[in-house]
A and B are shown apart, each in its own frame.
Chain A
Amino acid sequence: MKKVIGLAAAVEMIPDGAALMIGGFMGAGTPPRLIDELVRQGRRNLTVIANDTARPGVGIGKLVTAKLVRRVITSHIGTNPETQRQMIAGDIEVELVPQGTLAERIRAAGFGLGGVLTPTGVGTTVAEGKQTVAVNGTVFLLELPLTADFALINAKRADYYGNLEYSLTARNFNPAMAMAAATVIAEAEDIVPVGVISPDAVGTPHVLVDHLIGKERGHG
């Protein structure tokens, strides 16, 4: 299977209205070329599942500014006044999820679990409408798995099989998201020959990656 495809062709696979998981934390670990290409192609009515919406002009903030996002499932929008403005204007629907719960809901989907029981949110507005389960006397919230049509993943390095290696705090939600979406599109800063990334350093095994964005053409 030929895994490496062009940037434009990758984004052309994403229809208007798609649900996207996008890796990153305040822009760190968000795939920059995929974001720019989504803006260039003007995909609309997107649902974005991500830790945050960064800042205007940064990472996912570019999608918000371009008014491509209809709904966002996220832990924090406080750093992006444009997200808040669009939310108040009714142009964007925001579902706020505690950060650890967001990570576990994504993980549950990718790991084949029917949900997770977490103490986070019990007794708060987050618990509204959710089932609670008592285990050995402690009350937990049942939080349901979260999946998406596509995961847009950012890695430090990939090999041509699609093995991904991450870097420091740019890792964040990327490994869990690469497990949880129907189609996984990865963008790496560099693509190296198979075997260069040591097995211990592989953060996401290649079988999870459907498409890998190729390097730009041209030398020097």
Chain B
Amino acid sequence: MDEKALIARRVALELKDGDLANLGIGLPTLVARHLPAGVRVFFQSENGIIGMQPLPEEGFAWSDLTDAGGSPIGAVPGAAAFDSALSFGLIRGGHLDVTVLGGLQVDEEGHLANWMVPGKMVPGMGGAMDLVTGAKRVIVAMTHTAKGEPKIVKRCTLPLTAVRRVSLVVTDMAVIEPTDDGLVLREVAPGITPERVLEATEASLIVPAEVPTMRLATAPS
């Protein structure tokens, strides 16, 4: 299974019926496709809409209805559009149930760095700092390593996105929960052992006696 699909299928299980969710660019389509039956989630796009959905089909694209990457999207019946101040009021004001973002590093404190690599890549933080600061739950969805280097580290060396501890980290190898005691290995991906996760992780992990295999939403029919 493709690592992105694996992550999306695990993340989909974190979304609850009725949630308002903001997912990073690219992920929404994948995650939305894997939502369990009976779970209806409203997706926010921070450029000003609740109720975004993937474009239904060719012929529905419109320049006034786009996602945060500028790509055309659709809107579900009951969608609501608003300006940027209200959009970030939703995010910062505690009205957003969950955000799922990519990551460059997560550390033992549960801190996330995901917006720049000094001297190399300075895209800007966009809405990420507000999302990580304000959402009720912050889920980091990322590959476990980058070019063989661990991304879950003792202490972030890259500039932090926020000092708030993230709620959960879902990678192609594991599900890890930052807690008061440190990072806890909650689940491993199918075919991955806790030992392999430890080898691919720089940070210390707390490994419970039982580490179940990752639960996954079923693939769409």
Contact = CB atoms under 8 A, between A and B. Distances in A.
A103 B49 contact: no
A45 interface: no
Interface stretch (B78-86, B138-146, B177-185): B78-86
Contacts of B82: 171
A169 B49 contact: yes
B123 A118 contact: no
Given A51-B84, A77-B123, A99-B125, A168 B49 contact: yes
A125 interface: yes
Given A25-B47, A26-B47, A96-B124, A172 B84 contact: yes
A96 B127 CA distance: 11
Interface stretch (B11-19, B66-74, B168-176, B191-199): B66-74
Contact of B92 (A27, A79, A118): A118
B64 A170 contact: yes
A146 to B, nearest CB: 13
A168 B64 contact: yes
Interface in A31-55: 51-52, 54-55
A77 B47 contact: no
Contacts of B75: 168
Central interface residue in A52, A99, A123, by most chain B CB within 10 Å = A99
Contact of B125 (A54, A76, A107, A168): A76
B130 interface: yes
B215 to A, nearest CB: 33
A146 B65 CA distance: 27
Size class of the A contact interface (CB-based, 8 Å): 35 or more
Contacts of A133: none
Given A103-B84, A168-B81, A172-B84, A28 B66 contact: yes
Interface stretch (B100-108, B154-162, B203-211): B154-162
B63 interface: yes
Interface of A: 25-29, 51-52, 54-55, 58, 74-79, 84, 87, 94, 96, 98-104, 107, 118-126, 156, 166-176, 203
Interface of B: 45-49, 62-70, 75, 81-85, 87-88, 91-92, 121-130, 133-134, 159-163
Given A100-B92, A100-B127, A169-B49, 8 more contacts: A77-B122, A98-B128, A99-B127, A100-B129, A126-B129, A168-B64, A172-B48, A203-B83
Please provide the 8 A-B residue pairs with the shortest distance between their CB atoms, ordered closest to farther. Answer: A78-B123, A26-B70, A100-B88, A123-B163, A100-B130, A76-B124, A98-B129, A76-B126
